Structure formats: structure tokens, C-alpha cells
Amino acid sequence: MTTQQHVTNHTRAGKRGKMLECPHCHHTWNAGHFAWSGFQCVKCITMVDKQDWLIAPVLVLDKEAMRRVAAGLPAKYSADMTDAEYNEYLKTLDFESCG
């Protein structure tokens, strides 16, 4: 298992920005530049220094997962789901195509 890297003075955003993750609440957002020394997380309202932000892992989704995300549903099952979220997730699965 790889550990997430922290933002450093050498971190660059690139053309499409860089996804960052709050170390407190794990909310992700896209940073377009790094011309700042700290940033307040919009979810948990905690002020976080630049070097404390984590670089979020890049997710590659298949077409079925992208369809579920576009519909506002989870891309895949998560142990953190509530029963209602899990039931909604099950409705998105295509069991007929399994055989």
C-alpha cells in the first residue's frame, strides 16, 4: 500500500490542476495553482498549511462506473455506505448481463 504524498515546494499543478485532499476530512478539490501558503477547506472549515495538504490519488473509472457517477451514485461499493446508499448502489448493477 502506498502512502499519499504531501504538497511540497516542488509540486506543480499542470494544465488540468492537481487534486488535493484535506488531511482532516478527506474532502478533495482541484488546485489550479500553488501560489498560496495555506488554504481553508470548504467542507470542514479548517485552515490547512500548504505542506499539510495531501495529493489525492488519481481514480480511473470504467464506463459503467462513470455512468453511475454521472447519475449521482457511488462508482463502487464502499464499507462506509449507509444501508440506503448500498440499496441504491445495488439498483445500479446490471445483473442481467452477468449471464
3-14: per-residue pLDDT in tens?
788 999 899 988
Percent of the chain whose predicted confidence (pLDDT) is above 70: 71
In this prediction the pTM is: 0.57
The DSSP string of 52-76 is GPEEPPPP---HHHHHHHHTTS-SS
- Would the pLDDT of 68 be above 80? no
Comparing 96 with 34, the larger pLDDT belongs to 34
Residue 22 burial class via C-beta count within 10 angstroms: exposed 0-12, middle 13-18, buried 19 and up: buried
pLDDT at 75: 63
The residue extents of the domains of the chain are 1-57, 63-93
- For 56-85, what is the mean pLDDT? 69
Give the pLDDT confidence score for residue 1 in this predicted structure: 43
Instruction: Return the C-alpha cell found at 29.
Output: 478539490
Predicted confidence at residue 93, as pLDDT, reads 65
The one-letter amino acid code at 26 reads H
